[in-house]
Amino acid sequence: MKKTALASLIVAASSLWLAGCLDGSSSSNDNAAPAPGETAPDTRVRVLPYLQNPTDTAISVIWFTDTDVAGELVVDGVGSFTSEPELVEALGYGDSEVEYIHGERNFGGIHADVAAGQAPALPYRHVVRVEGLSAATTYEYQVRQPGSETLMEAQFTTAPAVGERASIRFLAMSDMETEPESTEKNVAWGASALMIGGDKLETDPATYDRLYPVDQTTGYRANIQYAMERQPDFWAIAGDLVEKGGRQLDWDEFWRHAAGEWSDFASSTPIFPALGNHENYWHPEGGSYTPPAVMRSYDKWNSYWELPRNYGTDERYEKRYYRVDYGPVTLITLDSSNGDDSDPLKDTNLAIDGVQSRVPDFNRGSEQWNWAVSELADAQAKGQVIFVQFHHMPFGTGVHSLPSGSAGIPNNEDNQSGQPMRIYHELFERYGVTAVLAGHDELLEYVQLDGVHYWDVGFAGDGLRGPGYAPTTDYVPFDQLPTEAQETHWSAHGDAPEIWNGNQLIDGGKHYGFLEVEVRPAGSHDYEVIMTPRYVFPLMDEQGEVTGEFAHRQYNKVVRVQVQR
């Protein structure tokens, strides 16, 4: 790993506008700059700088402020670049969000400094694309924002050239589902029935009502601290980043964790996100999965990410599926949000109207399918080590692994099933995909099938579910898995039993975490891929009270794969 220092925040000596002193500016901006020597208006940095779309020669740095004052990105040894702030109207707040901020249940203090009855100001986006960089090189950078006392310092690293035989480490998370309500809210935490003589995939009834010992905010914060310690090259997120894709507070909370008051992980680690069902879900004026809600949720998604293009026939297909090449690794992200609305067996969300909402189908013969075929074939022909991420785990045992249908969970049908994504398995096998990174069931689970390794990595910061429909697990859809998947199945619920010393948990059980993926050259052509689920373990005293400290651990399930090229 090339990164040596974590990003830090320091206080700038002066907030005077420095126009005229800038060297090598990429652009000029005449709508925002106060005259030289003039003091810029007070400016709050709403999202710290974060990295997007790295290649071997370029990277984008994005940040948000609450005024239209241009900022300056300084890249050591490269030059300075002035931003052109752009008002982003899609990032506004509904009345219910304003009420929440000023209400009695804002335990996490989000936007606590906003005047009573007011909404936070609409933000301005700053995007600077830095080009002409050297491959696999780490650069220190600063963002100076006049009017703000926050001077942001971090570093970025360009990708190795495509096909370069470099070692890559990346992390995969899913289902953090951030929202301010996650503070002081602890999720259900059922334990395997194994210890009471039951099936390991069932749940001990004595733990049906048991809650996890730390709340979701604390757990996810600890998880990000561990993730930062691992210094990955990039951070893949397989969907359900936010609780409600059209609720601005939930996005604000996401950035508090990723590039804000709680961490600046995304300042030095590019995010490659996939849409989950929650990124299509709910808007304060638009219902849950109605076309206006889906569209407005996408407008927020589209405001934050800068990703490689797919050149889809609808501009709203951009950033929903895309390909990233990073040295020897190709990551293909698919959009599993919605399938064929005329056939529940081919649809992952029976509530979304894909045509009205302009969400692409994923089924055989669809535009997205054809795109995936050509990208997979090309990546394979180039000898890349291929990973695919999307939200809906196709071969899981959780609630969303029931067959697709509208009969309801008591009748063993789920209207947001991952099973329809099984159609991609033939492509993954044919084109030599090493691993599929998914979520949605909100558990940690693994199967191997025909040489493809499938992970549900949905334990980042929200649910810590078990198989079946928690908590009762009357039926666990294990028999829905192909035979080989049943034989290779592993889950944190069933295979990492809790070990207690009285009231004190010593080891085992389900905890917040991420999957770490290492790709290393082996021999003259091949690669070794090592996949390790890691988690933060909340330390307890002998009375069973959490101490506030977390141990950084890994599950006893390390998957090593030899990829022959």
**Interacting residues with Fe ion (CB under 5 A):** 175, 240, 276-277, 440
Which one, 240 or 299, has the nearer CB to Fe ion?
240
Return all residues near 226 (Cβ < 8 A) that are at least 6 apart. Answer: 513, 514, 534, 535, 536, 550, 552
Return all residues near 289 (Cβ < 8 A) that are at least 6 apart. Answer: 280, 281, 282, 349, 351, 352
Which one, 56 or 243, has the nearer CB to Fe ion?
243
Number of neighbours of residue 249 by Cβ within 10 angstroms: 27
Question: Is the C-alpha dihedral spanning 36, 37, 42, 47 positive or negative?
Answer: positive
Which one, 133 or 438, has the nearer CB to Fe ion?
438
* Nearest residue to Fe ion, by Cβ distance, number only: 240
Which one, 55 or 277, has the nearer CB to Fe ion?
277
Residue 471: asked if its preceding bond is cis (omega within 30°), the reply is yes
Which one, 242 or 540, has the nearer CB to Fe ion?
242
The minimum distance between CB 228 and Fe ion, in angstroms, equals 23
Residue pair 520/167 in contact by the 8 Å Cβ criterion? yes
The minimum distance between CB 401 and Fe ion, in angstroms, equals 12
Number of neighbours of residue 42 by Cβ within 10 angstroms: 12
Number of neighbours of residue 408 by Cβ within 10 angstroms: 11
Q: In what order do the strands lie in the sheet with 385-392?
A: 322-326, 329-333, 385-392, 433-439, 452-457, 444-449, 490-491
Residue pair 347/341 in contact by the 8 Å Cβ criterion? yes
The minimum distance between CB 387 and Fe ion, in angstroms, equals 19
The minimum distance between CB 338 and Fe ion, in angstroms, equals 13
Which one, 431 or 455, has the nearer CB to Fe ion?
455
Separation of alpha carbons 560 and 179, rounded Å: 35
Which one, 216 or 480, has the nearer CB to Fe ion?
216
The minimum distance between CB 514 and Fe ion, in angstroms, equals 15
Which one, 182 or 277, has the nearer CB to Fe ion?
277
The minimum distance between CB 282 and Fe ion, in angstroms, equals 13
Closest CA to 171 of 461, 515, 442: 515
The minimum distance between CB 178 and Fe ion, in angstroms, equals 11
Q: How far is CA 273 from the centre of its chain?
A: 5
Residue pair 535/190 in contact by the 8 Å Cβ criterion? no
Q: How far is CA 134 from the centre of its chain?
A: 27
The minimum distance between CB 294 and Fe ion, in angstroms, equals 14
